[in-house]
Amino acid sequence: MIRLAVPVYVELVTAVVAVGLIDLLWVSGLGEGAIAAVTVGTTVEYLAYGLFLAVPTGVTVLVGRRDGRAPVAPVIRAGWALWAVLSAVITVPGVLLREPLAALFTDEWRLTAGFFLVSLGGLPVFFAQTVVDGILKGRGDTRRPMRHAIICNVLVVALDPLFVYGLGMGVQGAALATVAARLVTLAFALVTSRHLITERGPGGRAAWEVVRTGLPMSGDFLARSAVGMALVDLVAGFGTRELAGYGIGQKIMLAGVMVFYALRQAAMIRTARSEPAGSPLLLGLGAGAAVALALNVVAAPVAALFTADPGPAVSFLRWMTLYLVPFGGLIAVGGVLQASGRGGRLLAATLAGFAVQVPLAYGLSAYAGVTGVWLAMAAGAAVSLAGALAPRGGDPGSARGRAPRSTRTAADRPSGP
């Protein structure tokens, strides 16, 4: 688990967290409006990724189940076919509707729409990289995706100041730097990993199997992104200062939250490959407590790097202590549920938590301000964890990293005694 999770964590931190933080850090000198624009822009990008997540997730699980036991070529071909279709379906409407979409979330809609034009237009590049990395992870290789993420991150570090200030492109330059870095990284990945991400063999209609396998994880991510957008809208009602603080706090917190997602991917890979995953629940709960402690220590000095008024961001990070422990347990257990054919249970638990969190956030915020929103997040995470762990008739323990026999294909079962 640790061997697989550490490279995944480095990958997630450098490709997702660090890129967003670097963008936010460079545009922070342009004012709170620019910070808010990047906050909204990256939130919408996460939502778009949620629409596509079923593909790389399904590819990872199915390649893991088949690797060395059945042909993987149909799965790989299906992944690329789905990439081509969904890239167009998601990207074109997003770009065409960028201005009304931006106006839904912030008064700085012109800045946000400019960010959308580039970031949403570059989604096919981002999606293609996730397919490449999904295939590699299914084969048990998490080091190559880590290498790709590091390369992308280094390029963003170099290109952001050039595009934002050197070329005077401002917020739009931050988006362009990210897309350019992703494009170069994708080219490198396709060249160096070609023998692993393409395979000759008999064809097949595996597209629906890929979608069906990854859909619960996509639904879980999509629900989180949609609720995240609702929270952005709710927090924005308290002013640009609070919204900027929320955006900064979220970016900082993501560096810790990626520990949970690394554990989830490790559990998913090992379970799909019929390898033991230990106790992801205990690992997730322990990681949640450790991350909460670390964020409380670094909250003030790190938030001060982004703004002269770190108060709202620091307050957010302090309150997140109540949220991170149950959330860590939930995300880690989700990897086992997804790979063992019980992803629907994870999605149901997530939706149950949000059914509590969203109305509670609006209700509590009327009396406690933004603190009410943070308390509602903690309550929702606790409800989701309870739902994921609740015993069901005939359902194996959710914290065990082994797929139930009924969810394995014939190729997954041993051929000998």
Which tens digits make up the pLDDT trace of 2-37?
788 888 888 877 766 556 667 777 776 677 777 777
pLDDT digits (tens, 9 = 90+) for 139-189: 888 889 899 988 988 898 888 888 888 887 778 888 898 899 999 999 999
Tokens of 245: 């603080």
Residue 25 lies in a domain: yes
pLDDT at res. 199: 64
Cα gap 259→6, rounded to integer Å? 9
The one-letter amino acid code at 3 reads R
- Report the phi/psi class of residue 402: left, alpha or beta, with left for phi > 0 and alpha for psi in -120 to 50: beta
pLDDT at res. 319: 92
pLDDT at res. 410: 36
pLDDT digits (tens, 9 = 90+) for 293-329: 999 999 889 888 877 888 888 999 999 999 999 999 9
Residue 414 lies in a domain: no
Closest CA to 326 of 350, 295, 305: 350
Residue 415 lies in a domain: no
Look at residue 337 and tell me whether its pLDDT is greater than 50. Answer: yes
Average pLDDT over residues 270-282: 82
Cα gap 28→164, rounded to integer Å? 11
- Average pLDDT, whole number, for the chain? 83
pLDDT at res. 275: 77
Task: Tell the residue number behind the tokens 């422990």, with chain if given.
Answer: 325
Residue 353 lies in a domain: yes
Look at residue 204 and tell me whether its pLDDT is greater than 60. Answer: no
Domain that holds residue 293: 2-409
pLDDT at res. 252: 86
Q: CA separation (Å) from 299 to 7, 393, 394?
A: 25, 44, 45
- Report the phi/psi class of residue 403: left, alpha or beta, with left for phi > 0 and alpha for psi in -120 to 50: beta
pLDDT at res. 202: 52
Per-residue DSSP letter, 310: -
Per-residue DSSP letter, 415: S
pLDDT at res. 404: 40
- CA gyration radius for the chain? 21
Residue 378 lies in a domain: yes
Q: Which residues have a Cβ under 8 Å from the Cβ of 266 and sit 6 or more positions away?
A: 1, 2, 4, 5, 8, 142, 277, 335
Residue 373 lies in a domain: yes
pLDDT at res. 10: 84
Q: How many independent structural domains does the chain possess?
A: 1
pLDDT at res. 408: 41
Tokens of 9: 């964590």
Q: Which residues have a Cβ under 8 Å from the Cβ of 306 and sit 6 or more positions away?
A: 24, 25, 28, 35, 248, 313
Among 60-74, 195-209, 225-239, 262-276, the minimum mean pLDDT is found in: 195-209
If one compares 179 and 43, the residue with the highest pLDDT of the two is: 179
If one compares 417 and 48, the residue with the highest pLDDT of the two is: 48
pLDDT digits (tens, 9 = 90+) for 64-118: 888 777 778 888 888 999 999 999 999 998 889 888 887 777 666 777 888 888 8
Residue 416 lies in a domain: no
pLDDT at res. 12: 79
Tokens of 158: 């170099």
Q: What percent of the chain has pLDDT over 90?
A: 29
Separation of CA 208 from chain center: 23
Q: Is 131 helix (H, G, I), strand (E, B) or coil?
A: helix
**170 within 8 A of 164, measured Cβ to Cβ:** yes
Look at residue 407 and tell me whether its pLDDT is greater than 80. Answer: no
pLDDT at res. 272: 85
pLDDT interval class at 392 (50, 70, 90):
low
Look at residue 286 and tell me whether its pLDDT is greater than 90. Answer: yes
Side-chain-side CA neighbours of residue 299 (13 Å): 22
